[in-house]
Structure 1
Amino acid sequence: MAYRRQHRDTGPVNLAARLLALAEDALNLRLPVRLRAWDGSVAGPAGAPTLVIADRRAIRHVLWSPGELGVARAYVQGYLDVEGDLSDGLRAMWEAVRVARAADPDAARPRITPRLALRAARLAVRTRALGRRPAIPAAEATLTGGLHTRERDRAAISHHYDLSNDFYELILDPQMAYSSAFFARPDMTLEEAQTAKLDLVCRKLGLQPGMRMLDIGSGWGSLTLHAAEHYGVHVTGVTLSSEQRDFVLKRAAERGLQGRVDVSLRHFRDLAGAGVADGTVDAVASIEMGEHVGDAEYVDFTQAIARYLRPGGRVLIQQMSRSNSAKGDRPGGGPFIETYIAPDMHMKPLAKTIGLIADAGIEIRDVQAMREHYPLTVAGWAANLEEHWSTAVALVGEEQARVWRLYLAGGSLAFEENRMGVDQILGVKPSASGVAGMPLTPMDWLA
């Protein structure tokens, strides 16, 4: 076994040492952290990231909701914290798990034996950590209704995207692009890299003045406005967020783009109501929206895209994925993401997504991996959050700001370590006779 240690609950209580020992025995893992408990006691290796249990209610959260969700609740409410860089602490933890599992596949997997449960109970009683369930953070999503019904999808999107336009303006670049940027050069600023991404999408779609484009999941309109303003196309944006719709319409008016930009507050299944007729759209883009569609519903999504496109029309889907190697991982990203950030999200391995797009009658022409670009993007968002921390707290509250701090740190690490990916998938709808009208090489969009 990679880890073995026996402890006895005798002698004076060093609370931090007892808690650390209990956690290590439960996880079968030597934790690469230093622990400071609410009584001021400290244990663990000097120089390691310091985990601070500031309040015994952190223990109660974990006892009532064992695992990731309990830890997240304790962190969001400030009962649990990390001194120094949160990303460094999470990175050290994942590295310890990898090393341990290489030697012992059972390492870092909770194993609560009767003896361990008795030890935990004794320590909880001695330190008064037992108690009623702490209040659930207000930042958690509480959805009702059938999975991926129109009403529930609207509520899921509203939970995250209707948080506050002012808050998102603090975090994102001036164009409000909430998706992976494209760092064509490593020295690019976040704004430059997002502009490069928007141009890359427009070039891949072959946009020309007068074309009609559909932007499914248009967000705050970064692509919708960019394509209309710089490529002369007419864009219909689609979102389920009223905050986003109002934001895009306001910006379109400020830029004099009212005649080229429509934003429809509706589900992708209901685009006929937005004046989108089958077989009339020159280009379709969906930038990191497909993850919210659902697994069973993804077939409807790809078939709708194929139906809207004219023969020779192109589609660009930028979408996050779960790694094939992440066996057993939840397709929604885990309890924290599913509870606080993106309820009902479903991420697939890239190969499955490509297969579903092709099955809809769309010919795959190019796939560009952008996984390494996401940590660079998130670094910009995280820096903006920390720079404007007090303003962010004033806008959305400290709990929600802490949700975002944890979300950005954990999300960035998932891409860095190849547990998640993001790709641009370019396809075309050939004519009945097989004519695609695509360039023979990708040089048109790589120039």
Structure 2
Amino acid sequence: MPSVTTTADPATRRTDRTGGRPGAADLLRPHLDRALGGRLPLRVRLWDGSELGSGDGPLIVVNRRRALRRLLWQPGELGLAEAYIAGEIDVEGDLGLALRTVWDAVRGSALRPVRLSAADRARALGAAVRVGAIGPRPAPPGTPARLRGVPHSKDRDRAAIHHHYDLSNDFYALLLDETMAYSCGYWTSDAPDYGSADAQRDKLDLICRGLRLTSGSRLLDIGCGWGSLTLHAAARYGARVTAVTLAVRQAAYVRARVTELGLDDLVTVECRDYRDIAGDGYDAVATVEMGEHVGDAAYPAFAATLHDRLRPGGRLLVQQMSRGRNAPGGGAFIETYIAADMHMRPLGETVTLLEGAGLEIRSVTALREHYVRTIDAWHRTLDARWSDAVALVGEETARVWRLYLTGSALAFAERRMGVDQILAERPCPATPLAP
């Protein structure tokens, strides 16, 4: 590694690769500090070996000047995410700690981005020209969602679900445990031999008990994923399950598992939109982390559908992510690369919408801390099987997932996001009081 020499400003260093000339960091630092309203709280090593920023934590390595060009065209979260996905930026050390450090600086007002004047922008542009960062807009890396049509129309919802959930059954099998549950687990033990699959089974039992499933109970599983609840409810409780998903590959996987387990007499799998579900009189309805995809304007109709599919006295279990009152929920990166058109709201607003559909809330179980452990388990698996993941989906998509899991775990750990099981019931008609 080239030797490092210290300039008059200890926060800006350059290596001998600059040949004694001002390094890219020397040219860019004043403009970066001005734009951010303070010094970047992380060390950054640029493509020529020069460094800027401060701190003893993770080191951000800018491998190519194209990263700066990308940020000029797409400032903010999405530009940074795309530079990471493309491999133009790397992190030496803990990626989660790097994200937390920047978030804390913004939240704590150590960084106060300012509105740049025309003169400021002109000087920054001149510095960008000198370091060779000016050029055509770089193409987005990976596979961002490209949706058309009216938000939350049936065709657009199908495309959004296909983008994320039909990525690759083999990839999800690599990432998840043997239950294939892609949702928050319920961790009931700290024993060394208790793992992700145990937490998922405990979550499935929590749902089935709440729904009071018994042999012959009719269960509608809306957004069934890879069938974890469907298969558990049929095999362990004897429920007769109608499983519904929009994802073609998920439906094919669940059908194969149903046949493999000898559950064809108990389970029907339908690949359809929730708005096209026929029939009513179900004893129980479950929707596990599907409501986030419904959209804000469509949620009252979704809640009415949940109500109408149940018989009087039937039970509903909604497991759904929420956002903190002052937290954004989602963000440009998530909505572009993971869950397009996703909408999250504070828990209380979802409860109000369900009550407005005529459902009686029976209980709410908060699982936020459980999601941190669940995502950490997925992340450890991704890191341990990185080369296999890259072989399945390519390095850029694997980097999308590393960034997604890291950021999601941090959001739940810092209470910016939550997840809850909402148990409700369709009331029976009131019995007239005796005279």
TM-score over 0.5 for the alignment?
yes
Q: Does the aligned pair in 1 maintain the 2:28–2:128 contact within 8 Å?
A: no
CA contact (8 A) 2:86 2:142 kept: no
What residue number does 1:112 align with? 116
Mapped contact 1:207–1:231 kept (Cα < 8 A): yes
**Alpha-carbon distance, 1:119 to partner:** 2.7
Contact 2:36 2:114 in 1 (8 A): yes
Structure 2 distance, partners of 1:374, 1:387, is 20
Matches within 5 A, 1:335-350: 335-350=332-347
Aligned pairs (5 A) from 1:264-413:
264-272=270-278, 277-278=279-280, 280-326=281-327, 329=328, 331=329, 333-413=330-410
How many residue pairs get aligned? The number is 412
Q: CA deviation at 1:17?
A: 4.5
> What is the CA–CA distance in structure 2 between the aligned matches of 1:237 and 1:65, rounded to whole Å?
41
Q: 1:257 Cα deviation (Å)?
A: 0.6
Match of 2:264 among 258, 266, 280: 258
Q: Which amino acid aligns with 1:265?
A: C
- Is residue 2:91 matched to residue 1:82? yes
State the identity as a percent: 53
- Residues of 2 paired with 1:247 and 1:240: CA distance? 13
Report the AA paired with residue 404 of structure 1. Answer: W
Whole-Å separation in 2 of the counterparts to 1:228 and 1:335: 39
Corresponding residue SS for 1:408: helix
- For residue 285 of structure 1, give the secondary structure of its aligned residue in structure 2: strand
**Alpha carbons of 1:334 and 1:353: their partners in 2 closer, same or farther (altered >3 Å)?**
same
Say whether 1:40 aligns with 2:49: yes
Judge conservation of contact 1:209–1:231 (CA < 8 Å) in 2: yes
Among candidates 150, 168, 171, match of residue 167 of structure 1: 171
Asked if the contact 1:54–1:79 (Cα under 8 Å) also holds between the matched residues in 2, the reply is yes
2:216 to 199, 210, 213: 210
Q: Say which SS state the counterpart of residue 259 (structure 2) adopts.
A: helix
User: In 1, distance between residues paired with 2:181 and 2:233?
Assistant: 13
Instruction: Give 1:93's aligned residue.
Output: 102
Q: Secondary structure at the match of 1:22?
A: helix
Give the drift of 1:176.
0.6
Q: How does the TM-score come out when normalised to structure 2?
A: 0.92
Question: Could you tell me how far 1:112 is from its partner in structure 2?
Answer: 2.4
CA drift at 1:99: 2.5
Amino acid in the other structure paired with 1:342: A
Q: Does 1:431 align with 2:396?
A: no
What is the CA-CA distance between 1:27 and the residue it aligns to?
A: 1.6
How much does 1:15 deviate?
Answer: 1.6
Correspondent of 1:198 among 165, 189, 204: 204
Distance (Å, rounded) in 1 between the aligned partners of 2:431 and 2:48: 73
* Structure 2 CA distance for aligned equivalents of residues 48 and 384 of structure 1: 24
C-alpha distance in 1 between matches for 2:138 and 2:376: 32
Give the alignment's Cα RMSD to 1 decimal: 1.6
* Distance in 1 of aligned mates of 2:115 and 2:176: 41
Deviation at 1:43, TM superposition (A): 2.7
Mapped partners of 2:247, 2:347: distance in 1: 27
1:151 aligns with 2:117: no
Cα deviation, 1:317-341, whole Å, max 9, x if unaligned, reads: 0000111122xx2x5x110000000
Q: Deviations over 1:35-94 (max 9, x none)?
A: 110111123335221111111111111111111111111111000111111111111112
Gaps of 5+ in 1: 1-6, 102-106, 436-447
Separation in 1, partners of 2:188, 2:118:
55
* Whole-angstrom CA distance in 1 between matches of 2:92 and 2:336: 25
Separation of aligned partners in 1, 2:307 and 2:270: 20
For residues 168 and 19 of structure 1, what CA distance do their matches in structure 2 show? 42
Q: Which letter does structure 2 place at the counterpart of 1:310?
A: R
